[in-house]
Chains A and B, each alone.
Chain A
Amino acid sequence: MKTTQPSMPTLEELQHLMQTAIQHPQRVRGTFHNIINTSYGIGADQRLAIYQRGYILRLLECMRAEYPQLIKAFSADWFDTMAQHYLASHPSSSTNLNDLGARFPDFLQQDRPDKQESVQDDAFDFLISLATLERFRTETSRGKGSENADFNQFSLLETQPLDSLKIELAPNLRLLKSPFQLVDYLTQLNQSDNANNSSPELIKQTQHIAICRENYRTQYFIVKPWQFDLLVLLQHNTNLNDVLQQINQQYADSAIYGFAPFFLLQAASKGCIRGVCLVTNK
């Protein structure tokens, strides 16, 4: 054993200093000369640089894996720049990486240059909408789904009056109202990948998308506005009677009541619904 050199930082001080150096290299340059050994001609700053590079590249790789369509639709360089700004302001505080990119769509929204303008640029709306869709896809893919639901319970939708039912949506269902025909755009984007076609067409027209998972396959389920609102309401209130009354008031369309069971059965088959039971069956 060698002897300790005097005036060394405590373990706690050292870790705070080193973490700052890794996450914000410019803040503490030159501080480590007496702390980190030089060998093979590689000094403290160069040795730290290996950790600094590794830190950002490792997390950037995770961000790229979570937002592949955003990279395809815009550019890899633009994405890397935005992701690095994002990581600098949103360092990970989780023991896993599932939520590393969770606030990226919000970050893009906060960062949009036309934030103060009265008329907002469609390109930024598209960007944020696409980022949100990709994040939702990740959440749906990893979240608690309806794969273990008992399929027999869904027959209640056919055999019982709707006002007697409670509906539990799959926790991993995500709902996105996009100002663009986003799913069509993505289909074209991924096709043009293979066929080397011209850039896909982006149509500005609202699309209501349910992001759901059926038998461990995440998919986009395009729904009508009333169906979308029905699902949104069911996320907060499981009582189908209450929810249908609200939808009826909102849309003033009595036909909706007749279509609702078919839609709910379809939604169940796509993994949007985890449970159906009678209101009295608490």
Chain B
Amino acid sequence: MTIFNLPNLGLGVGLRHQHFDYILQHKPKVDWFEIISENFIADHGWCKHALMQIRQDYPMVMHGVSLSIGSTDPLDKEYLSALKKLSLEVQPAWISDHLCWTGVQHLNTHDLLPVPLTEESLNHICQRIHQVQDYLQRPLILENPSTYLSFAASTIDEWDFLNLMAERTGCGLLIDVNNIYVSARNHGFDPLEYIKKLHHQAIVQIHLSGHTDLGDHCIDTHDQAVSESVWQLYARLKRYTGGVSTLLEWDANIPDFPVLHQELLKAETVIEGPMPELTLESAPEPEPDLVAPTTQASPVSNPIHFVVGDAQ
């Protein structure tokens, strides 16, 4: 199987346990769902049960956060085996994770940490993608993360890194347009150049989500509606790709399902409507010491959708 056999699933949303009952009762007209693989790998309770029921009515994709493809630790064979086992049950259209590392020394920070974009990283990651693809017997799909720092050692632009990775391994790309926007604001690159220079034929899926704008930087909080700038980026990428599976992620302050669904359906209007003018706000003038000290109210990047709960 190659990424070119993968279908366009249409418009989907990230499956969150708050919505299980609603989905089971109302069977909303959503094309597909994406699950966080780790939430179901070791679950034998209500959530797994509900997942398998929902799976009967909708196509699914397994999206992971712990593959740690960029880590210098050896690949976690136990995790890969559990992932494969879950995939045999869920039969996902594909399995995805992130271009990142999550920990070393067998620890897990449960964050999606950036890799320096160098030849060393590229070789290391490509060799690991080959290993994972051989084991899973399917192409891996990798997502661009949102980042808050860049390394002085980096020599490759992120879009080139993704292109080279896909070219060398046959892996597919999951392009999160919100992550591009957040990273562009945090590092000062042009998000339009980023999406233009991607190899569009390698893009299997697009992510949409909301972020928190703190003025001099943005945090990828997945806790609100998609911003206008991100919709504009989406519209452009939609045109470049000719249409690929699109998914809305919402992980904190999760609204009722109909609200989420309405937000997702905006993607249809963007697809069908005229291409909106792209007006991105420019980054403000540099102001030192603007990062807030540690407070409980700080917005959290990459929020975890932590599953706790039983049948209602």
Which residue of A4, A36, A61, A62 contacts B118 across the interface (Cβ within 8 Å)?
A: A4
Partner of A80, one of B107, B121, B296, B306: B296
Q: Residue A191 at the B interface, CB < 8 A?
A: no
Cβ contact within 8 Å between A143 and B115:
no
User: Which of B54-62, B240-248, B281-289 is the contact stretch?
Assistant: B281-289
Enumerate chain B residues within 8 angstroms of A93, measured Cβ to Cβ.
106-108
Asked if B46 contacts A97 (CB within 8 A), the reply is no
Is B88 interfacial (CB-CB < 8 Å)? no
Say if the beta carbon of B120 comes within 8 Å of chain A: yes
Q: Report B-chain residues with C-beta under 8 Å of the C-beta of A65.
A: 306, 308
Residues of A within 8 A of B310 (CB): 141, 213, 216-218
Q: How far is the CB of A89 from chain B (nearest CB, A)?
A: 13
Q: Which of A3, A19, A97 is in CB contact (< 8 Å) with B103?
A: A19
Tell me which of A57, A61, A142 contacts B44 (CB under 8 A). Answer: A142
In the complex, are the beta carbons of A14 and B116 less than 8 A apart? Answer: yes
Closest B-chain residue to A94, C-beta based?
B108
Complex-state Cα separation, A92 to B304, whole angstroms: 14
Q: B287-302, CB under 8 A of A: which get 1 and which 0?
A: 1111100101010111
The answer to whether residues A15 and B71 also contact, given A37-B151, A55-B111, A217-B311 and a CB cut-off of 8 A, is yes
Question: Restricting to B56-89, which residues have a CB under 8 Å from any CB of A?
Answer: 66, 71-72, 76, 79, 82
Residues of A with C-beta under 8 A to B298: 53, 57
Q: Are B44 and A143 in contact (CB under 8 A)?
A: yes
Q: Which of B142-169 contact A (CB under 8 A)?
A: 148-156, 160
The secondary-structure label for the interface of chain B is loop
Interface 9-residue window, one of A40-48, A192-200, A260-268: A40-48
Q: Which of A13-63 contact B (CB under 8 A)?
A: 14-16, 18-19, 22-23, 34-37, 39-44, 46-59, 61-62
B219 contacts partner chain A, Cβ-Cβ < 8 Å: yes
Given A2-B155, A46-B291, A80-B296, is A40 in contact with B41 using a C-beta cutoff of 8 Å? no
State how many angstroms separate the Cβ of A177 from the closest Cβ of chain B.
Answer: 24
Known A41-B290, A47-B149, A51-B148; judge A57-B71 contact (CB<8 A). Answer: no
State how many residues of chain B have any CB contact under 8 Å with chain A. 70
Q: A35-B153, A50-B148, A58-B111 are in contact. Are A11 and B116 (CB under 8 A)?
A: yes
**Which of the residues A42, A54, A61, A138 comes within 8 Å of B217, measured between beta carbons?**
A42
Q: Is A119 positioned at the interface, with any CB of B under 8 Å from its CB?
A: no
Q: Is the CB of A61 within 8 A of B300?
A: yes
Interface contact B288-A3, CB-CB below 8 Å? no
- At the interface, yes or no: B309 with Cβ under 8 Å from chain A? yes
**Cα(A16)–Cα(B121), bound, Å:** 15
Interface residues of B (CB under 8 A from A): 38-39, 41-47, 49, 66, 71-72, 76, 79, 82, 101, 103-111, 113, 115-116, 118, 120-121, 124, 148-156, 160, 186-188, 216-217, 219, 283-284, 286-291, 294, 296, 298, 300-304, 306, 308-311
